[in-house]
Amino acid sequence: MKTLNTRAIVLAAGKSSRFKTNRSKLLYSVCGQPMILYTIKLLKNLGIPTTVVVGYQADEIKKLIKDSAFKVDFISQKELLGTGNAVAITKKTWDKDNILVMNGDGPLLTEEIIEELLYSHNNSGAVVTFLSSHSMNPEGYGRVIRDGKHVSIIEERNLTDEQKFVTLINSGIYLFKKNFLQDNIDNIQLDSIKKEYYLTDLIKMASDQALKVKTIPVPYDNVRGVNTLEELWAVEQIKRSQIIKHWMTQGVRFELAQSIHIDWDVEIGIGSYIGTGVHIIRGTKIGSNCTINAFCIIDNCKIDDNSYIHSHTVVQDSKIGKNSHVGPFARLRNNVLIGNNVNIGNFVEIKNSEIADDSSAKHLTYLGDSKIGKNVNIGAGTITCNYDGVNKHRTEIKDGVFIGSNNTLVAPVVIEKDAYTAAGSTITKDVPKESLAIARARQENKVGYAKKLKNKNKKETESSVSSSVHKEKRSKLNFVGAVKPKSAQNL
Ligand code: UD1
Ligand code: CA
């Protein structure tokens, strides 16, 4: 019943000139999802067949929509002649009795609101029903102007000084009876100032013909449009706080929630704790009772239950098992698989490597293109030399191995089970199982020589100080005042 014989037309051809970035605003992400996909997915979920009008940067927009696995019809708007023209060119796709027209730049809309719109429209006999809203700062929006029973929408630049104070705005979401659209869409006149056809003129045209126009007021935060980067920021803050509130209801604790970035497709288990300034993005899944401490970035990762990511750690495209610790100041990237009960400590970088259960690399280490078994200890300062300037090579360290501190492991190299390497070794050959590898210069002790050396150095220093004039010039620090961005100086 829900879709009530409706086709949707989504307007996505505009040039986004107020964005000032030379990129369609509809391609910009809100909490990790391109803006246009909020509208598209909403229509997909409601099962409403959809036509999308594309023009500016059409290829990128079409690709995004195709990748979202919702089959829509695309119509190209050759000349960007305004929203009235954008709807007019979709005429041949009007195969339902009701036509739902939506701007592509309203990512906060909900399915419930569209269901309410469909329901009230069909029970009212109106030729058009549109969503309106009260905004305390209505600048930029078309205003809903009433004169007795007569309703019209007047665009910002055409408002009288008095009308500018009207706070009821047009949301850009309308449900038309197809017959009304067919009879009137070609009668919209070109706006003499903007040289565009305004879809909103249809409201006045219906009222002029004494046809019924219905308005449903809805919360402003559901219909905010995005014309500028500032509005994108405002909309994203709202979306982000909705996401955070949702996870709070699911038992996730956020420290300083307003500082946390979290994408729409992230999942977090109950009892987990997210610290100040953390970014959790691109479909990351965090288990229950995990801690992600302050200023971590967790990007496209899976972290299992009870794991602890210490502050200032960056983890990308990787998986971490249960009860493991990573950081502080660690970096894991490019397909790192960490097992259970693993300890990765400070200043450790791991790339494209697998580290099995109960192993640890606690300090100042680089592990690249490596496979590390269970119960392995990697000593402080260990480096895998995985790159010979041309190719990357693998290091394999099998179960139970102990790598002493400050080792360089020149790949390709295999350290077999339960082997031991001495501190300071440069390992260039495979190490057999249960063996000790020592690969460093042998130490020599010269007994009593230190004292002799000290006296010799002392004498040399005394003679050089007395014979020279010690001059030290300190250059004065020359601070140049920081230049503020031009526009900020005028604030
Ligand atoms: C529009 C409404 C305004 C309303 C506001 C709500 C008109 C004339 N004005 O203004 O009353 O308050 O939305 O957010 O409709 N587009 C095209 N082809 C074009 C021009 C625009 O497809 O030739 C698309 C844009 O990509 C965008 C949508 O239509 O997704 C709306 O265009 P936009 O320029 O944002 O309209 P507003 O000025 O916000
Ligand atoms: Ca807009």
In this structure, which residue's CA is closest to atom 28 in ligand 1?
Answer: 103
> Cα(240) to centroid of ligand 2, in Å?
21
- Which letter does DSSP use for residue 482 in this model? P
Q: Which ligand is nearest to the CA of 12?
A: 1
Note whether 392 and 373 are same-domain residues: no
Residue 310, pLDDT score:
98
In the chain, count of helices (H) and strands (E)? 10, 39
Dihedral sign from CA coordinates of 256, 258, 262, 266: positive
From 351, 377, 345, select the one nearest 364 (Cα to Cα): 345
Say if 10 falls within a structural domain: yes
In this structure, are 163 and 17 located in the same domain? yes
Whether residue 245 is contained in a domain is answered as yes
Active site residue 363: yes
Q: How far apart are alpha carbons 176 and 213 in whole angstroms? A: 10
State whether 158 and 38 are in the same domain: yes
Tell whether 267 and 287 lie within a shared domain.
Answer: yes
What is the per-residue pLDDT for 474?
A: 47
Residue owning tokens 């070794």: 425
Look at residue 462 in the predicted model and tell me its pLDDT: 84
| CA separation, residue 150 to residues 125, 131, 145 (Å) | 16, 17, 8
Ligand 1 atom 34: the closest Cα is on which residue?
14
CA 273 to chain centre: 20
Q: Which residues contact 167 (CB under 8 A, 6 or more apart)?
A: 134, 135, 136, 138
How far apart are the C-alpha atoms of 340 and 359, rounded to whole Å? 9
Q: Looking at residue 2, what is its pLDDT?
A: 65
Ligand 1 and 14: CB distance under 6 A:
yes
Q: Which positions ≥6 away from 270 have C-beta within 8 Å? A: 250, 251, 252, 288, 289
Domain boundary (377, 398, 419) is at 377
Residue closest by Cα to atom 8 of ligand 1: 198
Cβ–ligand 1 distance for 13 under 6 Å, the answer: yes
List Cβ neighbours of 486 (8 Å cut-off, separation of 6 or more): none
| CATH assignment of the domain containing 93 | 3.90.550.10
213 and 267 share a domain?
no
Of the candidates 134, 261, 363, 393, the residue annotated as catalytic is 363
**How far out from the chain centre does Cα 232 lie?**
13
- pLDDT under 70: residue ranges of the chain: 1-2, 465-491
Asked if residue 473 belongs to a domain, the reply is no
Number of structural domains the chain divides into:
3
Q: Tell me: do 56 and 176 sit in the same domain.
A: yes
In a domain, 472, yes or no: no
Per-residue pLDDT at 402: 98
Q: Which ligand is closest in space to the CA of residue 226? A: 2
CATH number at residue 272: 2.160.10.10
Of 377, 408, 426, which one is at a domain's C-terminal end? 377
Ligand 1 pocket test: which of 37, 105, 164 has the largest number of ligand atoms within 8 Å of its C-beta?
105
One domain for residues 269 and 353? yes
Q: How far apart are CA 346 and CA 65, in angstroms?
A: 42
Q: Is the domain of 214 the same as that of 289?
A: no
Residue 478 placed within a domain: no
The CA 368 to ligand 2 mean position distance, Å, reads 48
The number of the ligand 1 atom at minimal distance from the alpha carbon of 11 is 22
Q: Is the peptide bond before 138 cis (omega within 30 degrees of 0)?
A: no
Q: Ligand 1: distance of its center to the CA of 83 in Å?
A: 6
Range of the structural domain that residue 24 is part of: 6-222
What distances in angstroms separate CA 165 from CA 161, 172, 201, one per listed residue? 8, 19, 20
- Per-residue pLDDT tens over the stretch 285-340: 999 999 999 999 999 999 999 999 999 999 999 999 999 999 999 999 999 999 99
Instruction: Judge if 399 and 452 occupy the same domain.
Output: yes
Q: Which ligand is nearest to the CA of 85?
A: 1
The Cα–Cα gap between 411 and 434 comes to 20
CA distance 268 to 249: 11
Same domain, 449 and 346: no
**Domain match, 158 and 248 both:** no
* Ligand 2 mean position, distance from CA 191 (Å): 17
* Angstrom distance (rounded) from CA 189 to CA 203: 13
- Whether residue 75 has its Cβ less than 6 Å from ligand 1: no
Please enumerate in sequence order all residues whose Cβ is within 8 A of that of 35, keeping only pairs 6 or more positions apart, or say none.
25, 26, 27, 28, 29, 104, 105, 107, 226, 232
Of ligand 1's atoms, which has the minimum distance to the CA of residue 227? 35
Distance 105 CA to ligand 1 centre (A): 8
Residue 123 confidence (pLDDT) = 85
The pTM of this model reads 0.91
Q: How far is the CA of 141 from the centre of ligand 1 (A)?
A: 9
Task: List the structure tokens of 71.
Answer: 């089959």
Q: Which element (helix H / strand E) includes 366? A: strand 360-368
Nearest ligand, CA 78: 1
CA of 172 to the centre of ligand 1 (A): 7
What confidence tens digit (pLDDT) does each residue in 66-81 have? 999 999 999 999 999 9
Does ligand 1 come within 6 angstroms of the Cβ of 200? yes
Asked if 151 and 38 sit in the same domain, the reply is: yes
With H, G, I as helix, E, B as strand and everything else as coil, classify residue 360: strand
Residue 477 domain-assigned (yes or no) = no
Q: Report the C-alpha gap between 311 and 323 in whole angstroms.
A: 17
Angle of CA points 10, 16, 21, to nearest 5°: 140
Domain end, chosen from 337, 359, 377, is at: 377
CA-proximal residue: ligand 1, atom 26 (nearest): 14
Are 179 and 186 a contacting pair, CB within 8 Å? no
Report strand pairing: 331-333 vs 343-351. Answer: parallel
How far, in Å, CA of 350 to CA of 370, rounded?
A: 9
Helices (H), 335-437: none
Distance CA 297, CA 316 (A): 8
**CA–CA separation, 154 vs 200, rounded Å?**
8
CA distance linking residue 220 with residue 133, whole number of Å: 5
Residue 467 domain-assigned (yes or no): no
Which of 24, 37, 83, 176 to probe ligand 1 with, by most ligand atoms within 8 A of CB? 83
Residue 1 lies in a domain: no
